[in-house]
Amino acid sequence: MTEQKQDTTVIVGGGHAAGALLANLLQQKYQGTVVLVGEEPYPPYQRPPLSKAYLSGETDQKALLMKPLSAYESAGFQIRLGVRVDSIDRANRCVSLSDQSTLTYDRLVLATGSKVRRLSAPGVESTGIHYLHDIADADHLRDALAAGKRLVIVGGGYIGLEVAASATKRGVKVTVLEAAERLMQRVTGPQVSAFLHDKHTRAGVDVRLGSAVKGFKIGHQGHVEGVLLANGECVPADVVLVSIGVVAETDLAEAAGITCDDGILVDQYVRTNDPSILAIGDCTRHRNLFFDNTQRLECVSNAVDQARTAAAMLTGENKPYDSVPWFWSNQFGVRLQMVGLSAGHDQSVVRGSPDSETFAVFYLRNSHVVAVDAVNMPLAFMVGKKLVARRATVDAQLLADIEFDIKSLA
């Protein structure tokens, strides 16, 4: 009897996408050899709590892990932590690691995620200025946020606002500086921006729109003392968080000649231009059924869905990635759930009332539902997911009529 050779799959990166891929391979009892190489010292973990329950001290590190290390090891998966993949030799199908070892692969999965966008401004290197992407960042930030401290957050996006809420809970005095004319402008419509602005302001957060940062005031010990604005004002600070978005981590792929364009380009089967290399999660740019353009998505749903597609590719099932992206955020007890992409909508319909803190905004393009943002309204989110997936045409008056049971639309 001839022995069948088992494929070796090497996964680069140990974040959410890699964790979801391992979970799928575990579930499908994948027979090949699996080696995960992750730069961070932890097995795959969930980042969303870092700006929410973990920062406010309501959950611990153990609860962040997607699975305990032993679950992977007992399945025979090799998990190599605290090691980087430095380069890919595509001709010989092997990768070189920062511990000077090499690994050969039959299939390589790039799950290198994203890295924070750095601010370039005088004084930005001084102590007291933080970024938030991993557990170590969250630990440093949490240690710095004692009650009574003044935290200035540069950037009024998801993460900045979540940190504002978590820090306020800890008794910290928070100011949010946003350069745009409204909060979360990149990802939501004006109704939700205005609601969040009001919510934060009423909770004591000083929200300043149209505030461009031009530098930092530094004290004698080299510690930040304030944030300098373009209008000449200095906002006093003990701690600063810069939260101005992320960029895809594509250095490794680019150096190996894999096609990238602000993200590793993948098709709906998460294949790169090299047939033996797949890419998943924040590091990718892709097209799916729901977008006219290629998109780079920085969210858990994309990481999980692309991981499922990669697992199908590795097990020979070849199912395309065709899920609708969705997002969530928690701020001051408000549960915001968003599905689809609202950019380019030509009509928005509000269901419920922002004053009651229970409402949803349906975004339509050419009468088709393209996105829904639901605030404490899980039913609208659930129905919205189905409407967006079907690109349904819906009577706007029905969506707005709170007496109408929208379940019937799903």
Chain residues in the site for ligand FAD (CB under 6 A): 12-18, 37-40, 47-48, 50-51, 84-85, 111-114, 132-133, 159, 249, 252, 281-283, 298-301, 303, 327-329
Cβ closer to ligand FAD: 211 or 250? 250
- The DSSP annotation for 44-55 comes to SB-SGGGGTTTT
Cβ closer to ligand FAD: 229 or 339? 339
Smallest gap, in angstroms, from Cβ of residue 284 to ligand FAD? Answer: 8
Q: Which of 390, 262, 259 is nearest to 322 (CA)?
A: 390
Distance from C-alpha of 198 to C-alpha of 209, rounded to nearest angstrom: 13
Smallest gap, in angstroms, from Cβ of residue 41 to ligand FAD? Answer: 10
Angle of the 190-202 helix axis to the 158-169 helix axis, nearest 10 = 20
Smallest gap, in angstroms, from Cβ of residue 21 to ligand FAD? Answer: 9
Cβ closer to ligand FAD: 139 or 223? 139
Q: Which of 86, 85, 116 is nearest to 18 (CA)?
A: 85
Cβ closer to ligand FAD: 238 or 305? 305
Smallest gap, in angstroms, from Cβ of residue 17 to ligand FAD? Answer: 3
Q: Which of 389, 279, 272, 270 is nearest to 323 (CA)?
A: 389
Distance from C-alpha of 141 to C-alpha of 266, rounded to nearest angstrom: 35
Residue nearest to ligand FAD (CB): 15
Smallest gap, in angstroms, from Cβ of residue 86 to ligand FAD? Answer: 7
Cβ(283)–Cβ(246) below 8 Å = no
146 DSSP β-pair partners: none
Number of Cβ within a 10 Å radius of residue 201: 12
Smallest gap, in angstroms, from Cβ of residue 15 to ligand FAD? Answer: 2
Distance of CA 158 to the CA centre of its chain: 9
Cβ closer to ligand FAD: 9 or 51? 51
Distance from C-alpha of 49 to C-alpha of 335, rounded to nearest angstrom: 14
Cβ closer to ligand FAD: 163 or 205? 163
Smallest gap, in angstroms, from Cβ of residue 251 to ligand FAD? Answer: 8
Q: Which of 158, 129, 116, 135 is nearest to 54 (CA)?
A: 135
Distance from C-alpha of 87 to C-alpha of 93, rounded to nearest angstrom: 11
Cβ closer to ligand FAD: 82 or 122? 82
Angle (CA) 12-18-23 rounded to 5° is 140
